[in-house]
Amino acid sequence: MSNLGGIRQSQSVLHTWSGLVVGWVLFLIFIAGTAAYWKEELTRWMQPEIGLPASSATAVTQAQQFLARTAPDAQRWSIDLPDARSSATSVSWQPQGEKERRRGQRNPNQATLDADGKPVQVRETRGGNFFYRLHFDLHYVPVLWARWFISACSMLMLIALISGVITHKKIFTDFFTFRRGKGQRSWLDGHNALAVLSLPFHLMITYTGLITLMTLYMPWAVDANYPGGRDAFFAELFPRAEKAEASGVAATPPALAEVLRRAEVQWGGGHAASLQIEHPSDSAMRISVRRHQGDQIAGAADALSFDARGNLLDAAAPRSAAVITRDGMIGLHAARFAPTTMRWLFFLSGVAGTLMVATGLVLWTVKRRTQLPDPARPHLGFRIVERLNIGFVTGLPVAMLAFLWGNRLLPLDVANRSDAEVKVFFYAWAACVVHAMLRAPRRGWVEQLALAGVLALGLPLYNLVAWHGGAVSALAAGDGAKAGIDIGLLLMGASLLWAARKVHRFVPAQRKPRAARTGASAAAGASA
Amino acid sequence: MAASSRSPATGTPPAKRVPRGSGHALLWARGLLGLLGGYAVAACWAAALARLLPGAKADATLVATMAAFVVYALAAIWAYAARSTLRATLGLLLAGGIGALLAWLLRGGVG
């Protein structure tokens, strides 16, 4: 056979298979990425020791006082300022003669300051950053391998989306069609509605996601123009400020709050995200201020540097149209610019995407079951797909919620506490996969949905009792982020329990001979 | 997708069905062609566009890389949509060849 049928037919085949092969990975990417839209809020929620942050002018003054006390003759100071979403000021310093630490290496020379400028002992946690990293770096695998793998899956996702649109004869009619309680039909309608409803989002998020990692796995344009090596390309794209050399003349830094104010004027409004002061005890010191990524859709650091008297030395060159386009793509993907209402829209679109992948996975098995020689006793391959669906679609939410519980329940002095939290995530996930393999599919779905529901509902209740009134006191204090996570968990828990109940009560359609199927399946109960 | 891959339940025989066996092998051949062949075509065009586009070198490089994904998606769709596997292969070879040729012809301008 050399003909695969018409274009719709062939696209349908492409859609089905490219979708299944990477569906589980895509589910992980979607659910972790969706959660990561609340990364800062989650981190704040996961470090309940800290209250609301100070304003950036106050915070920078407090940080300066702290550093001047703690490390007056360090080689470098770094200050990360709080914003409306995150909770605390973090400062770190590099003592004279010490080498720069690599990313992710534990740094003993650091402190977290609360709104009064006092160092607070916060629990060690990866916070929302865990979901963010899991979204494109996975875990326990070398980062480069993970990114290649994620990129290949995203490319297939893009192909599945495009072929999904081509397959779809009646894309707009189908959007308004939801045939309840018709088994496979309902799953297909649900999958279609979820996909079409947020199709612009899906296309955008997949394409921009590919853009974020593009020079890694599509390096051919770079190689074509920079035969000497990729470093030359990055050096041209991101010119590095030359290092300041110490003069040997002692000095103290100017008031950093005033430097911040000047930086904000220079940007024409906007917020500073971080400061770095090289040689803070030397008259040749250099203060560089980086801009908040969320200030613009095409976020950029727009670094400015100031001298020991607080005068502007140097500003980053304006970006070219191509760079702004690239930054805009990344900005749309990460939504750092999004204020709360729009962030909710991003989040809900992400939820729709997660459900689209989930319904697609379920549809794959529902459809194939009807084509099996004996649907009551499917072959091994089918059973594995069916069980893995459970292990991913409900196992991952259980694991994510278990991670949050780990954050609350693990003893504060346990060694490598943030790694221990991550272990809770993976143990819980592994347990769910094993559970799904051992139980009958229906029981597997119901039990894991119910477990996820109970875990989600339990967290805000636990906070209410164990963390000074939880959402209630957070709301009273005006801490929308902490309260929002609690309320979100309540809603999520309720929906999960509702879904568990639906699946539990679901009466499957009686299997009829094919010719008579149309009328008979109307008798089926509602699908979950 | 089920709507188009299954004949309606009116009793008419299915007009087009993907046969088992050799059909599946061909399907996977098309899949690999789309995935790997599509990537190769995109890579060739990324290099060609990087040298073809006007403006600063770094900018042309960025735009070419971003555009390569559009080429990839189109090539992958072609790999399935072509009437035969042979045509699909030839089409990808032609598209990739033009890209590679352009990149090679423009090699002079790169220092």
> Using only C-alpha atoms, what is the Rg of chain B?
19
Place A173 in a pLDDT band, splitting at 50, 70 and 90: low
Q: Which residues of A touch B84 (CB under 8 A)?
A: 2-3
Q: What is the pLDDT of residues B66-107, one digit of tens each?
A: 999 999 989 988 987 888 899 999 999 999 999 999 999 998
Give all strands (DSSP E) within B48-98, no chain letters. none
Token pair, residue A2, equals 């050399």
Searching chain A, which residue's CA lies closest to the CA of residue B39? Answer: A218
Q: Specify the DSSP class assigned to residue B36.
A: I
At residue A200, the pLDDT reads: 87
Instruction: Count A/B contacts: CB-CB distance under 8 Å.
Output: 164
Pairing mode, if any, of strands A272-278 and A286-291? antiparallel
> Using only C-alpha atoms, what is the Rg of chain A?
26
Total H helices, total E strands in chain B? 5, 0
Q: Is the pLDDT of residue B3 over 80?
A: no
In a 3-state reduction of DSSP, which class is residue A285? coil
Please tell me which of the candidates A17, A152, A225 has its beta carbon nearest to residue B110. Answer: A225
Record: contact A4-B103, CB cut-off 8 A: no
Q: What is the pLDDT of residues A258-308, one digit of tens each?
A: 999 999 999 988 899 999 999 999 999 999 999 999 999 998 888 999 999
Nearest residue to A364 via CA among A16, A2, A12, A15:
A16
In a 3-state reduction of DSSP, which class is residue A194? helix
Token pair, residue A316, equals 């980053």
Look at A158 and A487; give whichever has higher pLDDT. A487
Place B5 in a pLDDT band, splitting at 50, 70 and 90: very low
> Cβ of A8 under 8 Å from any chain B Cβ?
yes
Segments in A372-416 forming alpha helices (H): 380-393, 395-409
Q: What is the pLDDT of residues B15-63, one digit of tens each?
A: 444 444 456 677 778 878 888 999 999 999 999 999 999 989 999 999 9
Q: Is the pLDDT of residue B9 over 60?
A: no
Q: Is the pLDDT of residue A528 over 80?
A: no
Nearest residue to A178 via CA among A164, A166, A163, A188:
A188
Q: Which residues of B touch A9 (CB under 8 A)?
A: 4-5, 16, 18
Place A376 in a pLDDT band, splitting at 50, 70 and 90: confident
Q: What is the Cα–Cα distance from B39 to A299, expressed in whole angstroms?
A: 30
Q: Which residues of B touch A155 (CB under 8 A)?
A: 35, 39, 69, 72
> Cβ of B95 under 8 Å from any chain A Cβ?
no
Q: How many CA atoms lie within 13 A of A111 on its CB side?
A: 17
Look at B64 and A105; give whichever has higher pLDDT. B64
Residue from B20, B24, B80, B83 to probe the interface with A (highest A Cβ count within 10 Å):
B80
Token pair, residue A134, equals 């899991």
- The answer to whether A151 and A216 are in contact (CB under 8 A) is yes
Q: Is the pLDDT of residue A390 over 90?
A: yes
- The ipTM assigned to this model is 0.81
Q: Which residues of B touch A207 (CB under 8 A)?
A: 69
Please tell me which of the candidates A7, A236, A322 has its beta carbon nearest to residue B81. Answer: A7
Q: What is the Cα–Cα distance from A140 to A149, expressed in whole angstroms?
A: 14
Shortest alpha-carbon distance between residue A439 and chain B (Å): 29
Shortest alpha-carbon distance between residue A465 and chain B (Å): 50
Q: Which residues of A touch B110 (CB under 8 A)?
A: 224-225, 227
| pTM, full prediction | 0.86
Averaged pLDDT, A136-155: 92
Average pLDDT, chain A: 87
At residue B93, the pLDDT reads: 97
Q: Which helix (H) or strand (E) holds A235?
A: helix A230-237
At residue A86, the pLDDT reads: 80
Q: What is the pLDDT of residues A417-475, one digit of tens each?
A: 999 999 999 999 999 999 999 999 999 999 999 999 999 999 999 999 988 778 888 88
Q: What is the pLDDT of residues A8-62, one digit of tens each?
A: 666 677 677 667 778 899 999 999 999 999 999 999 999 988 888 888 899 999 9
Q: What is the Cα–Cα distance from A61 to A76, expressed in whole angstroms?
A: 17
